[in-house]
Amino acid sequence: MVSYKRLSPEEVHFSGAPLLEPPPDDSGNSAVRAEDPELPLLARRPQCSSTTALLTLGGLILVVLAIWLLGTVLWLRSPPSSEVHKPLTPVGPSSQTRGQGGGTQQPEACSLIAEAWRFDCYPERGVVVTEEMCHARNCCFVHDSKARPPGQNGVPYCFYPPDFPSYELVAINDVEMGYTGKLIRTQKTYYPKDIETLQFDVLYESNNRLRMKITDPANERYEVPIDVPVVKTRAPNPMYTVEFIKKPFGLIVKRKQNGAVLLNTTVAPLFYADQFLQMSTSLPSTFVYGLGEHRSNLLHDVQWNTLTMWARDAAPLTNLYGAHPFSLLMESDGLAHGLFLLNSNAMDVVLQPAPALTWRTVGGILDLYVFLGPDPASVIGEYLEVIGKPAMPVYWALGYHLCRWGYDSSNKTWEVVKEMRNYGIPQDVQWNDIDYMDNALDFTYNPVNFSTLPNLVNDLHINNQHYVMILDPGISSTQPAGSYWPFDEGIRKDIFINNSSGDLLIGKVWPGLTAFPDFSNPDTHEWWYQNLQKFHSKVPFDGLWIDMNEPSNFFDGSVNGCPENELETPPYTPGVLGGTLRAKTVCASAQHKTTSHYNVHSLYGLMEAKASARYLRILGKRPFVISRSTFPSQGLYSGHWLGDNRSRWKDLYMSIPGMLTFNLLGIPLVGADICGFSDNSTEELCVRWTQLGTFYPLSRNHNTKESQAQDPTMFSPAARAAMKEALLLRYSLFPFLYTLFHHAHLNGHTVARPLFFEFPLDNKTYSIDKQFLWGKSLLVTPVLEPGVDYVVGYLPKGVWYDFYTVSCGESLVSKGEEVKLHAPLDKIILHLREGTITPTQRPNTTLWVSSGQPLHLITCLSEEGLAEGDLFWDDRDSLDTYETGHYAYITFKLRKVLKLKSSGKGKLFKAKTTVCKCLDVPLSIGSIIRELKQNH
């Protein structure tokens, strides 16, 4: 529902008809008179009398009343907000003009605009746009066979003319950090509450980072409250140039190195109304990545593709659980740059084949960052300099996790753990879904079915394993007074979200009617901490799984619905699933301590993750939090799983672009539910998925109670053996994976990364999302189809060593080509890149035991006989070990002999090396041991 009634074509025709009728033709009437000899040549003057005067006055009153009544009827049929559809004053040569016959004359400039460069003037969904409606907005109208059908993406047939009214830059001043200017709009747009005067700031924050802010100098508008760098010194040698276009206002940013245009906002008009902000830019190529969270390929389609951002509890369809308005763009010459609009309101990001991009949001400000790279890894590092680099995970987070909604009891959960141990299958973490709770109440456990839960957790700890349980934000509001402390104390502290009238907002989730904590309130963080502390004293959990935190609501808004106001029904609603901002969440007009839910909805998961991580840090260990809903800077506090998938081969494949995208977004601790959440997995699918899941940064098997159990022990001996071998492989690679996370934490690197990160000059890698790399050296090529024992993979140019036969020196010299590789059911294809040294360890059933095993270096020489690698090592769970210097960082370089260089304060450990035997290179274990610093 929207705040104004859409006009149907019939209504438009009817309401406009009187305006189109020509005035009475006097010449025609004269001709009639001339043909009628009975008409006098001069009109007779009417006789004046009191009766005639009264009759005339009465007639005039009736006419006035009739006109008033007709006007009232027409007014009731028209939109309540007339300003929304108010036609612009025609300006310039492109204005729609009316010919002598009353028809519309299309300006010539409209026909000259290529389809790819048409920017949509009527983006509202569910509207059949007529020519009259389009011209009422002073826009061009071209309706042809290639135009989009109603409700579908395609070429817009109502689009902006070249001189559509926009802002004018009337003043600009050089300031310490860059420039500040004044923008003026002199003509209203078709959205209400235009902000006519804007402040425009360009900040040269670093040589590789430019920031542009457009704000309302007269009124404070909502700005996203995440910590970003506050720079006080202008960049001394920026890699970019900035040009200002005064009328209509636009900004052009170019790369100094080659003159490439990275940002050009002159391609479409700027909008800045109270609830509608829009800005467009051209793009230097069609290679666009990021812009989460959606279920899509790694490389986005630019053929009229709209990506909506508004956190939503949904199966993998449209706008998903998180909102990330960051895009990475590969340029045609292998260079890269990034664009980040720091805005948390509901948003559409539109990609079109010009290529061009449009941001369209319903609130906040325009706060845009441009990152110059110049390579894709540098772009991600620069982005994370702004939003924050991911936290270093606790070591056991990188082990194998097992979960199911439907264990139904702690004893059944315990049996699964024991079965895993009996078969010698690695497992570090056991999870429970909501079935552990007492009537789905947070901070409780079922006293009957889960009575032995504390014993299970203690047993896990004795065996160097760990426990994670789920928490949902919805707090039951229907328990007897005094019986449920979380709600009673929450009411006392006033920490719940209220409706627009200031009363408690009640929704519905698993426990029934619920209230929702307001995590924008610092008091809520203290209340959350107290609840976690109370529960931890009963069940000493190790990590938290925070779910349903978009927040999800089984009602649309609340038990009482939502009011009809401008926050609930803005003039423009992005393409959210359900059609309204309140669909399966709380009312947009609901009130938090800081602002309305309209502004902070997509921040809810981030705020809850921050509160959860804060508590776990107080325990003195690195926090482990996995969140469904995410926002930029989430990696500081939590990881993410990709949500509810299905046990289908397509979902197996789609998990790879999802994993890679979240690495680009600064949340490297990510993975999908191995073997699928819903439906029943086949044995073959689960084996292949376990092999792929071995190389998810977050490796968790999880499924629903409606499906058959799918933990590794449930399958045949052959399948079980294949899964075990895959997991042991992960555990052997733990030193390598742990070091990759160190670089993500320290430098903002990706852990799992697309091939084009390492081969940016090879454009064949730009669309590859069925393979990926760990770091720069380990290439993973999984089987993603049923019934095959081979896979076709792309090997970029260079020498690649088969991981399984590297000790025999088996390698393949690739020119940059696809290769058919033998992949039986018990094998996932892995290759190591030339010139790399990969640290591994002897695996065991937990990472704690594995990490005490000898170190093993796999050395793959380049054609020149060179190789290098590194290793980060610490106690693996203490806080801030790098920041306090309690670590060992060792670099390995092979130049005929192996040389090591170490830093930090590390514990001595044993190591040995293996180099391809056919390459006769002498290495000494003793040389490694002597070079390591021993501090403990």
Measure the CA–CA gap between 649 and 654, rounded to whole angstroms. Answer: 9
The catalytic position among 120, 550, 644, 870 is 550
pLDDT in tens, 636-689: 999 999 999 999 999 999 999 999 999 999 999 999 999 999 999 999 999 999
Exposed (0-12), middle (13-18) or buried (19+): which is 48, by Cβ within 10 Å?
exposed
Query: DSSP label at 480?
Result: P
Range 273-293 average pLDDT: 98
pLDDT of residue 913: 46
CA atoms within 13 A on the CB side of 122: 28
pLDDT in tens, 697-725: 999 999 999 999 999 999 999 999 999 99
Residues for the chain: how many in total? 936
Range 445-474 average pLDDT: 98
Q: In this structure, are residues 721 and 752 in contact, taking their beta carbons and an 8 Å threshold?
A: no
Instruction: Read off the pTM.
Output: 0.87
Query: DSSP label at 301?
Result: P
CA distances from 446 to 410, 437, 440, 460 (A): 9, 5, 9, 19
Active site residue 644: no
Measure the CA–CA gap between 349 and 278, rounded to whole angstroms. Answer: 10
Active site residue 880: no
- Examine the pLDDT at 104 and tell me if it is beyond 60: no
- Examine the pLDDT at 41 and tell me if it is beyond 80: no
CB-based contacts of 28, cutoff 8 Å, min separation 6: none
Q: What ranges in 550-682 are assigned the alpha helix state H? A: 597-600, 604-618, 649-664
Grade residue 468 by pLDDT with cuts at 50, 70 and 90.
very high
Q: Is the four-CA dihedral 336, 340, 346, 350 of positive or negative sign?
A: negative
Measure the CA–CA gap between 519 and 512, rounded to whole angstroms. Answer: 21
- DSSP strands (E only) in 439-521: 466-471, 475-476, 507-509, 512-515
Least confident of 133-147, 163-177, 182-196, 592-606: 133-147
Least confident of 483-497, 501-515, 853-867: 853-867
The catalytic position among 428, 472, 547, 679 is 547
Look at 125 and 631; give whichever has higher pLDDT. Answer: 631
Measure the CA–CA gap between 288 and 357, rounded to whole angstroms. Answer: 10
pLDDT in tens, 313-338: 987 668 999 999 999 999 989 999 99
